[in-house]
Structure 1
């Protein structure tokens, strides 16, 4: 990436901030596209090295101004919400189409109109695109998503593949497993449990036997960097995953261990006999075949790395030793 102009949408988000930092370290000129009103806490430590653009992707004029200034060689599109606030499924479906699919198409259209389109377009997708299909998930499977988020993300993946032959730039969707790491919102279970260890407040584990393919953010960034290099044939959507799916009970136990906390901090709500545990698990073989990429940070090491960052950031730590 040395010397390349890279544009990152969703740059102030969890994964986007990690990507921006790594691109800078790789010698790239990084243009960070951030929605008006979004906090810059995650990128504050290196914001002076970024070119920050305050614009909404849905605002065509603002987006065109940003692209004209950035003249990107590589575009990373990470600006997609992962959750919707409402409980109305129809309203959530409409919101997902507007914020995920329409935003993607607007960005692709603006890039296609540039005098010099980018050399590559990398978009982050999600393991939730697969939904109710046999696991481990493989790219050739017909998907059956079960949420508005997963459905809209899948629609974006298929639209991008549909348009590929008519676009003046190549594209690929990285279907990410459930990503964790430093800087993630405590609205997600892994950081929520680390925060519980920090504060001493008990936390409930509602589905302990559910299994999840959890991938460390450093592994994800490694994959995104290699996917942003010269486009390779055979890549339309690619799983970025570990190929392992520990139970949430195992994950919770490991977090308590690395943080030195008592097991009674977690209130485990056992699954009822009639409730079959759910599994989210992807096969990353194609990423290895095409890009030579594979996950290198196992769950034990990844949680230990995250614990170290918490211990350094939150001193003195209120510990609950067994």
Structure 2
């Protein structure tokens, strides 16, 4: 017998959230999506009618407490967050943190049993060669510090209240519906137009995971008995150059990949690699896509989406 859940999903209109929503609906779960009124819903247009939508910014979540309580969620998966690295995004990160803490309080108040709040690899001390869940936390920007604060406060709140809390720490994801400015889609779209992709030398080591696999991993972790933190990653190293060269090879245009045309951004970490043993061994998750297969799948989607068949 397959268990179904009532799920509150914040960030349902986002990159990872939209893919997780599709998976949950496909499995027959009852999904209530919390979405900001200002969010462009292009990623969920095909599934929006099957979702129960609650419109609210994260910082105003208390105003829709009655609607959330009516949904009676058994699991809250909190993916919504505005703010990234850099000084300009500091205030936005602060707002996301305060709204997340208000959501945490509300979830416990209405009797939800599980709070799953997305973390990030940037909570870790990135000087370590491979990042395991017990690696020391030492963020180097406001974004990572705010995510770390949410993790630590949620853990202490769990100790006080008994609410089961999990932080899936996301590494690097790619796939359909990704922001066009990021590495994989920007490279694909330039090559599809016959333009060169001017990149750094590409020596940065990363841990990339197809977004459908990332969504499946989050759900597997959410429904497991694991509390605390879990890395959401493939656990296999690849370089930016290897990703770009694979895209060039898939399109038959390796000549358009110009490695070394740009300098590596200042202070960019050269190695971010997860240990995914907990996710694979204890939770039992396994990826659907290899890197090459995932890039091929993503490329086919962009060819259709961009009309570049």
Of residues 213, 224, 243, the one that matches 2:207 is: 213
Give 1:308 deviation, angstroms. Answer: 1.8
Of residues 257, 271, 293, the one that matches 2:249 is: 257
**Secondary structure at the residue paired with 2:54?**
strand
Give 1:269 deviation, angstroms. Answer: 3.0
- Which deviates more, 127-136 or 10-19? 127-136
Asked if 1 retains the 8 angstrom alpha-carbon contact of 2:61 and 2:99, the reply is no
Q: Which aligned runs of 4 or more in structure 1 are off by greater than 6 angstroms?
A: none
Aligned residue for 2:94?
97
Give 1:296 deviation, angstroms. Answer: 4.0
Aligned residue for 2:216?
222
Aligned residue for 1:174?
168
Give 1:20 deviation, angstroms. Answer: 0.6
Q: 1:201 to 1:83 in 2, by over 3 A?
A: farther
Q: Mapping of 1:148-227 within 5 angstroms?
A: 148-227=142-221
Give 1:271 deviation, angstroms. Answer: 6.1
Asked if 2 retains the 8 angstrom alpha-carbon contact of 1:201 and 1:265, the reply is no
Give 1:261 deviation, angstroms. Answer: 2.3
Q: Could you list the runs of 5+ residues in structure 1 that have no partner in the other structure? A: 318-322
Q: 1:209 to 1:73 in 2, by over 3 A?
A: same
Rounded to whole Å, the distance in 1 between the matches of 2:144 and 2:255 is 33
Rounded to whole Å, the distance in 1 between the matches of 2:247 and 2:71 is 41
When normalised by structure 2's length, the TM-score is 0.91
Structure 1 position 309 matched with structure 2 position 301:
yes
Rounded to whole Å, the distance in 2 between the matches of 1:7 and 1:184 is 22
Q: Residues 69-125 of structure 1, C-alpha deviation per residue, up to 9 Å, x if partnerless?
A: 2111111100013526xx5x3x533432222x21211101111211xx122221211
**Secondary structure at the residue paired with 1:72?**
coil
Aligned residue for 1:108?
104
Q: 1:179 to 1:162 in 2, by over 3 A?
A: same
When normalised by structure 1's length, the TM-score is 0.88
Asked if 1 retains the 8 angstrom alpha-carbon contact of 2:195 and 2:256, the reply is no
Give 1:316 deviation, angstroms. Answer: 4.1
**Secondary structure at the residue paired with 1:42?**
helix
Corresponding pairs, count: 307
Give 1:9 deviation, angstroms. Answer: 0.2
Aligned residue for 1:288?
280
Give 1:298 deviation, angstroms. Answer: 1.9
Q: Residues 51-82 of structure 1, C-alpha deviation per residue, up to 9 Å, x if partnerless?
A: 11111121144331331221111111000135
Q: 1:153 to 1:277 in 2, by over 3 A?
A: closer
Aligned residue for 1:17?
18
